[in-house]
Chains A and B, each alone.
Chain A
Amino acid sequence: MNQAVFFIKSTLCVISLFFQTAYAQNTSRIQGRVTDESGNPIVQATVVLLPDHQTTVTDKDGRFSFNKLYEGTYQLQVTCIGYDPTERDILVKKSDLHTIEQVLKRNETELSEVWIQERQGNVDNLINAENAAMPVKVITRREIELMGSRRLDEVMKEQTGIAVINDIAGGSRAVGVQIQGFSSNYVMVLVDGQPMLGRNNGNFDLSRISVTNIERIEIIKGASSCLYGSDALGGAINIITRHGAIAPQAHASFLYGSLNVVDATLEAETPFAHQRGSVTLSGNCYRTDGFNTNKEFLSNGTTTPPYDNYSVQGRTRYRISKEGTLGLSLRYAKRNSTMINEWSDELILHDKQGDQDLNLSASYDHHFHSGIRSMSRYYFTRYQTQMQAEWIRQSALASAEEFGQGVHRIEQQFAYSPFKALHFTGGIGGSLELMDNKDLSDERSLNTAFAYLQSEWQASTKIHTTTGIRYDYTNAYHGRLTPSLGIHYRIDDHLLIKMGAGAGFKAPDYKMRYQVFYNPAANYMVVGTDQVREILEAMEDNGELSYINTYMVNLTAGNLKAENSISLNAGVNWTPHKKLRTELSVFHHRLNNQINTISVGSGTGIGQIYTYRNLPKAVNKGLEASVAVQVSTDLELSAGYQYLIAKDLSVLDSIRAGRYPYNQMINNPVTGESKPVTTGSYWGIENRSRHMLNLKALYEYRPWDMNINLRANIRSKYPFQEINGNQFIDEYDAFVPDHVLLNLTVEKRLLNNRLSVRLVADNLLGFTHQYMPGQPGSVILGGISYRWFND
């Protein structure tokens, strides 16, 4: 073991020596000491020097230093748990030695959650999540460690107001995330502010992403197109990866348990060239056997797919001059999966999928003397997947698909503060998307261009406003402007009121405008709106058309609009006491012009002919409340609750208008009774619970260096599928019942925080249901992790 440590240490030393460059001698130094109000030194305080993002910690005397600095203006941030953070400006001249004495004031809160007002800078993205004027939830790396989650969907499932849902219509592998009632195709998933590809019927499978290498997750709940453009109509999940090494360290961890789950990670990071550069590398290997939630009908096999997942990522930053920093990052992930569904001895389906995911990005961060900061970014991503399902006894293919998609994206961002209370961020950029799919007509690529401007203004000591506006243009749809406005009003030290309004949109894609698709098994055809008139006229000329709905054709042909949304939210943060924090907010999202298929005719050979249409509105509204209490220095309790009503207003309209099939009697399949339908019969949209409650207890038992984290995720019943024939959800349809998912993680640290032993138990109560195909029974894992670092 000592030899291995020595080997790693010497390798890291060699790397840093290799990158050492001699610079001119006229460099300066900042050194200092951090003490509390009584003059005692504060040990292990974090000291960050901006804009370089050089980070160090104070030693046992409270001292720190930064060397080889160039002249200019820096900001020095000092933070330590238990104290109020501070920030000060330092003007450094040539060949200067600056000595600082920093006093920190004690603050009794030890709450581990990041307080929203404490903004943490992204290193390669100037866009700030709070500029969406929507509520932002931040999940830190430490919180993820304490949950014991391995994949991103496990982290998301435990957040208030977020659900991970299987989309049956997309096939057995379509799993997506829902935020505040918005379905998965309206939630954008980004890594370091760059969009990720690879959706199955609009669903992004979050289990593709391992949680190693995640520094922080920002979840924006509500329309955020002013930040991220089309597709962020309902919200965004931004995964910020680790960057910036303070000191060389390496980390290895291994978990094993139920369902033969294996999760193995290896990570290393080191600064080099005297903190001018840093590099982090990490690799992860994960496998699972999957799980069967439907033992009644599936004699063998699983409903949750088994898979092997490998991923590797690396990130490096290097300050090439006193003004400029270069960053590069690479991520590659590969998954293979073979799922078996055995319905009987004769009917055995082998469902195979492989996918590969590549993200490459480069950024250059430059500070101009005028105070403008510029960030230039290039991003390339490619996703490809191969899916095949085969009935092995009959040697017949049920489905086979190959799909590949790539995007090149460039963006130029600016940030500028003309004076301290006002801050602007702006940018322009474009992207080029290429799809391998030859089913679509000639226009295979999607080109977009965008420009945006955001401002943050501390109008007075009590009022803080954020505004944003963004213009997006795509070649499959014309341009679009989306604004946002947010106001924070601080009444006093304990009470903050916030309000925000934002807009979002989602442009129709090729398929909806140009593709002609025929399903031979069910004998129907779907035609894009720009082609529908031509196709129907051609069919009529050939005598293949038996019925045409002229009214609907006139309404839809060439007339497809973007889906759009308006999100409003208002809330109160109340901190009556240092150990108690409460938040209450209400939200109202209105979704207009949702795109759905609509029948326009029928043919003599072909059954039904559909095209796409903008249907009127859906509304998601409700309230969210959360409470966090520091019961003692060792015990923290928190709770989060969401009340949601999600309804499709077009269903209510159809019920009122008595349109078929909404006007049928509501049938109770259990008693066989039927009763007339009213607007009150409509329950809401599938897969949304009225009530979601998360309870958490985090207990730290210091004498044993142990953490116990117990969480309960409680969901009230939600509809799974419409089964009584009236095309909307009423009380008699198939529901998943009320349930509790209980998760426990116990972590014990040994050997001076180097070794940690963990016991992770997910779904301790073993709740499963055939209408939740993706939820396994109880999974218990045990593992160890070891960290190498210098003291």
Chain B
Amino acid sequence: MNNMKTYRLIFNACRSFTGLAKIARWGLFSTLILLAFTSCNKDEDTRPSLEDGKSTVIYDLPGDTEASVGDGVDGKEARPFYTFLYRFKDQRQIWIKNQSDSTRWLKTADWDMAFTGSYNSEIFINNAAYEFNPGYEGEATHTAVVLLRQSYESVTMAPSDEKFDNSEINKIGWASSENSEGWFNYSANTHIMQALPNRTYAIRLPNGKYAKLQLINAYKGNPPAVTNLNWPAPYYTFRYYVQQDGSKNLNTNE
């Protein structure tokens, strides 16, 4: 290992000066003791794996990276981020770059999530009832989202229909206040988007099935901490589970 090599290096260098006093050798010995206490250079990621055998885990789904690296200097407006849509059943990503894309896709029930806004961080679940939702006045009726403030693994049952009916969640974005149902926090001091823990979204889909969703990270590689302001983003890591039998059972534990 690295440590052994360097120890040998020191020892060999010193061996050539054989006249060294005992004290110097004692110095080397104490160095050895220090080496023993050194923590190894472990940059291990100790977080548990996201896979549970039932959920679909999506890693590094690229958002509009062209817009994020675009000219944002000197206060000049960067080109607005293109929205993309996402479909749970076949993991399809659909880009909305122009009017014909909008006309073709938005008012259908062929998509489940829309990633809009700055860094694609403002997420909408397809819902025909709400203004500002990309699916407004479209085909996705009777859908709703409820925020459950608990971990993804611990959500085993979807909430009651009444809760879904009463939920008014439309945009899921920056959780800037206590009541906000957003998924991430952005600090003006650190400039980093940080996904909040213990936020799981229970979804009632247009076809009546129930699903749960966790948004995990907006940075490439799902790093636990971001060490560079230019870290590539947005690259979305998220996971979800759709209960195909139509029941409210959302248990993903084995």
Residues on A facing B (Cβ under 8 Å): 168-169, 171-172, 294, 296-297, 303, 341, 343-344, 347, 349, 351, 389, 391, 394, 396-400, 518, 520-524, 526, 596-597, 599, 602, 607-608, 610, 631-632, 634-635, 660-661, 663-665, 667, 669-672, 674, 697, 699, 701, 703-704, 706, 708, 710, 712, 714, 720-725, 727, 734, 737-740, 742, 744, 746, 759, 764-771, 773, 778
- Asked if B98 CB lies within 8 Å of chain A CBs, one says no
Fill in one digit per residue for B41-76: 1 if any A CB lies within 8 Å of its CB, else 0: 111001110000000000000000110111111111
Q: Which residues of B contact A725 (CB under 8 A)?
A: 185, 194-197
A637 to chain B, nearest CB (A): 9
Q: Which residues of B contact A597 (CB under 8 A)?
A: 188-189
| A169-B189, A520-B78, A737-B42 known; A632+B23 contact, CB < 8 A | yes
Bound: A768/B153 CA distance, A: 34
A480 to chain B, nearest CB (A): 26
Q: Which residues of A contact B41 (CB under 8 A)?
A: 766-769
Stretch at the interface among B29-37, B85-93, B106-114: B29-37
Bound: A597/B191 CA distance, A: 13
Contact of A770 with B226 in the complex, beta carbons under 8 Å: no
B190 to chain A, nearest CB (A): 5
Q: Which residues of B contact A634 (CB under 8 A)?
A: 21
Task: Return the contact of B228 from the options A341, A632, A768 (Cβ within 8 A).
Answer: A341
A490 to chain B, nearest CB (A): 34
Bound: A592/B185 CA distance, A: 27
**B81 closest partner in A (C-beta):** A521
Interface centre among A661, A663, A714 (most CB of B within 10 A): A661
Contact of A660 with B27 in the complex, beta carbons under 8 Å: no
Bound: A744/B19 CA distance, A: 19
What are 16 A-B interface contacts by the 8 Å CB criterion? Answer: A172-B228, A343-B220, A396-B66, A400-B74, A608-B174, A631-B23, A661-B178, A701-B24, A721-B192, A721-B225, A740-B34, A740-B37, A742-B34, A764-B6, A765-B6, A770-B227
Task: Return the contact of A723 from the options B10, B194, B198 (Cβ within 8 A).
Answer: B194
Contact of A661 with B185 in the complex, beta carbons under 8 Å: yes
Q: Which residues of B contact A607 (CB under 8 A)?
A: 174
Contact of B187 with A727 in the complex, beta carbons under 8 Å: yes
Q: Which residues of B contact A520 (CB under 8 A)?
A: 72, 75-78
Q: Which residues of B contact A303 (CB under 8 A)?
A: 227-228
B153 to chain A, nearest CB (A): 6
**A347 closest partner in B (C-beta):** B232
Within 8 A of A (CB), among B126-167: 151, 153
* Nearest 7 A/B pairs, CB to CB: A660-B178, A667-B197, A734-B225, A725-B196, A721-B225, A391-B69, A400-B73
Bound: A168/B190 CA distance, A: 7
Contact of A699 with B24 in the complex, beta carbons under 8 Å: yes
Q: Which residues of A contact B103 (CB under 8 A)?
A: none
B201 to chain A, nearest CB (A): 16
Q: Which residues of B contact A526 (CB under 8 A)?
A: 188
Task: Return the contact of A737 from the options B39, B78, B220 (Cβ within 8 A).
Answer: B39
Task: Return the contact of B66 from the options A394, A723, A768 (Cβ within 8 A).
Answer: A394
Contact of A518 with B226 in the complex, beta carbons under 8 Å: no
B31 to chain A, nearest CB (A): 7
Contact of B71 with A396 in the complex, beta carbons under 8 Å: yes
Task: Return the contact of A765 from the options B38, B77, B119 (Cβ within 8 A).
Answer: B38
Contact of B10 with A773 in the complex, beta carbons under 8 Å: no
- Asked if B100 CB lies within 8 Å of chain A CBs, one says no
| A394-B69, A670-B48, A712-B34 known; A664+B198 contact, CB < 8 A | yes
**A748 closest partner in B (C-beta):** B17
Contact of A521 with B228 in the complex, beta carbons under 8 Å: no
| A396-B69, A400-B74, A725-B194 known; A669+B224 contact, CB < 8 A | yes
Task: Return the contact of B229 from the options A172, A699, A723 (Cβ within 8 A).
Answer: A172
Interface centre among B46, B78, B229 (most CB of A within 10 A): B229
B154 to chain A, nearest CB (A): 8
Task: Return the contact of A740 from the options B38, B66, B71, B74 (Cβ within 8 A).
Answer: B38
Task: Return the contact of A674 from the options B3, B37, B197 (Cβ within 8 A).
Answer: B197
**B47 closest partner in A (C-beta):** A669
A514 to chain B, nearest CB (A): 16
Bound: A396/B2 CA distance, A: 40
**B27 closest partner in A (C-beta):** A697
Q: Which residues of A contact B194 (CB under 8 A)?
A: 722-723, 725
A258 to chain B, nearest CB (A): 12
**A169 closest partner in B (C-beta):** B190
A600 to chain B, nearest CB (A): 12
- Asked if B118 CB lies within 8 Å of chain A CBs, one says yes
| A522-B191, A665-B198, A765-B3 known; A168+B228 contact, CB < 8 A | yes
Contact of B72 with A723 in the complex, beta carbons under 8 Å: no
Contact of B43 with A767 in the complex, beta carbons under 8 Å: no
Q: Which residues of B contact A523 (CB under 8 A)?
A: 118
Contact of A521 with B72 in the complex, beta carbons under 8 Å: yes
A630 to chain B, nearest CB (A): 12
| A343-B220, A607-B174 known; A769+B43 contact, CB < 8 A | yes
Bound: A714/B33 CA distance, A: 13
- Asked if B176 CB lies within 8 Å of chain A CBs, one says yes
Q: Which residues of A contact B71 (CB under 8 A)?
A: 396-397
Q: Which residues of A contact B232 (CB under 8 A)?
A: 343-344, 347
